[in-house]
Amino acid sequence: MIGVLETILLIISVLLIAIVLLQSGKATDSAGIITGGNQELFQNMKERGTELFISRFTFVLGITFFIISLVLFLIK
């Protein structure tokens, strides 16, 4: 049981790293705050299509990672 959960946790962690790297460069957009060059940052822009899927998938992977980590901690 513990070996299976650890394997699933390893797979989820690799997927989480990959999916975070696939997300659009929101951090580079926030650099415009300091220089004052990015006025689009505070506009209400909705995620659509693949961006929405990637964002939701990242959220689900993060919650799953947290739950499996907590279960493994409580079992050991």
Residue 11 lies in a domain: yes
Asked if residue 33 belongs to a domain, the reply is: no
Q: What size, in residues, is the chain?
A: 76
Q: Which residue has the higher pLDDT, 9 or 24?
A: 9
Quote the pTM value. 0.71
pLDDT at 51: 86
> What is the C-alpha separation between 54 and 52, in angstroms, rounded?
6
Query: Does 35 map to a domain?
Result: no
Domain that holds residue 65: 1-24+46-76
User: Based on the structure, what is the number of domains in the chain?
Assistant: 1
Per-residue model confidence as pLDDT tens digits over 38-57: 555 556 667 788 888 999 99
Q: How far is CA 1 from CA 42, 51, 71, in A?
A: 47, 35, 11
